Chain A
Amino acid sequence: MQTEVHFKATKGTAPTVELRNITKQFADGPTIIDDVTVSAAPGELVSLVGPSGCGKSTLLRMLAGLSQPSGGTVQINGQPRSSTDTDTAFIFQDATLLPWLTVRGNIEVPLRLRGETRKNRTALANQLANWVGLGDRLNYYPRQLSGGMQMRVSLARALSLSPSILLLDEPFGALDAITRNRLNEDLLQLRERQMWTAFFVTHSISEAVFLSSRIIVLSTRPARVATEITVPFPFPRTADLRHSLEFQKLVATANEALYHHSHQELQ
């Protein structure tokens, strides 16, 4: 399809990522996260679901180093996460593109910050844009793109430094169902090219089932691991999976678990 120059294959080198006994308490405030331990094996994609405001995003921000836990540690390959770790990419809820840069410019941001040469940046941006299906939109500005396309640019930008850890904070939440499904499928395809250990925060159970190998259901106030659901479907997964009975059954089970635990908290 396209020549894959200058790109280091990270497939198979993804690390073990672990949240160990994490607690979070704001000064004088209530404990919002209470003793959460979650781990992801190398290359595993783990979803975090739970009622809104339960602290899922805070956990993700801790994995990214954007927030510090009050207790517990974030460990990568058994070592505490160091503040100089740049091997992590974070995908925000909205695309967070810089509106004055073109698609190319936006994809190149991490490379520019790292001081890549122009030649390498151009080659990488071309390749990444092709990966996310925007090879013909390199000179467009974000406002000329649909929400789905903007998210693709955000994805390409996140992948530009070949991260080994990918953190996604409800990245497709604002998109329509069809676009959302397409992006889910594309994300799994990208995973065949680059291997990451990934954490995925979402409100959509079917999205969580489709993408991940394990779903962590969190309770709220404070957040605790309520239950854990293993998703047995083998990778690579395709759109057809959604139509299978097993898939639908698992979505129903997971929905029930989520409902059960959020309901309990409300009473």
Chain B
Amino acid sequence: MIPERCQKIILPIAAGILILSLWSGIKAWFQLPAFLLPGPSEVLQAGWNERHALTTATWTTFRGAGLGFIMAVGVGFCMSLLLVSVPWLRQGLYPYIIFMQMVPIIATAAIIVIWLDVGIQSVAAIAFLIGFFPVVASTLQGLLSTPVQQVELFRMYRASRWQELFLLRVPASLPYFFTGAKIAATLAVIGSVTGEIFAGSSSGGGGLGFMIIIYKSSLRIPALFAATFICCILGFIFVGTVLYLKWLALNKWHDSLRNEDV
């Protein structure tokens, strides 16, 4: 038997090799040209050739997504505090917070670009909008699901509203907050790339979404693959950062980190 730890490393690597060879195999078997399916090496080559354009684009997307994500988390968290403190506001707005999560981002993106014009402000706004509602929905749920007895304990000791909020409800909601932040991190990159497809411009760097449009229209498919691949890596970095922060904040006391899959 292979130890479990080794399995955790070996199996994904084996699967990766299998997928890459399957990819190359299919391409060779059907004799597919690069504009239909580029091979792994062609993608790598295209990525290298386009490295200057792609680096600039990645940096642009990173900034747009990062800005939107930070705003989504920051404003979302403050909004949750407000909604938990003002019950009538919460009751009025909560259905719309759930509803807004259902709005397709493509449609939103088009509207945002009409309102804010092309550029990073639109991209960040789209990344913000797509992440904001999940953050509010999860954090609010966390703030409201503090165990009744803990709340009673605080009330028995005549805790002020502020004490109840910041010493009890906020720490109790952190696991939920990080769940929302993780969703927001995933969506931030997707949102900003979607935004760039609508709002990217060649002036000042268009971001990965814009490059994808360029490569597509000029049929540079290996480069398109490379750009898409970089989007995934970027999303991975965002989510990884959130998971790391979550670990820092929760590992000492919360059980969820014992057996969570990334």
Contact = CB atoms under 8 A, between A and B. Distances in A.
Interface stretch (A39-47, A83-91, A124-132, A204-212): A83-91
A44 B242 CA distance: 54
B171 A100 contact: yes
A259 interface: no
In the complex, which range does the number of interface residues on chain B fall in?
20 to 34
B149 A94 contact: yes
A119 interface: no
Contacts of A100: 171-172, 174, 252-254
Interface of A: 64-66, 84, 86, 88, 90, 92, 94, 96, 98-101, 109-110, 112-114, 141-143, 161
Contacts of A98: 150, 168, 171-172
B8 interface: no
B168 A66 contact: no
Given A98-B171, A99-B253, A100-B253, A114 B152 contact: no
Contact of B157 (A94, A101, A113): A113
A96 B149 contact: yes
User: Chain A at the B interface: mostly helix, strand, loop or mixed?
Assistant: loop
B149 A92 contact: yes
Contacts of B171: 98, 100
Contact of A96 (B147, B155, B254): B147
A99 B254 contact: yes
16 contacts: A64-B156, A86-B156, A90-B152, A92-B153, A96-B147, A100-B172, A100-B253, A100-B254, A101-B253, A109-B157, A110-B157, A112-B167, A113-B159, A141-B253, A142-B253, A161-B157
Contacts of A110: 157
A114 B157 contact: yes
B150 A90 contact: no
Contacts of B7: none
Nearest to A157: B153
Interface string B233-262: 000000000000000000011110000000
Nearest to B152: A66
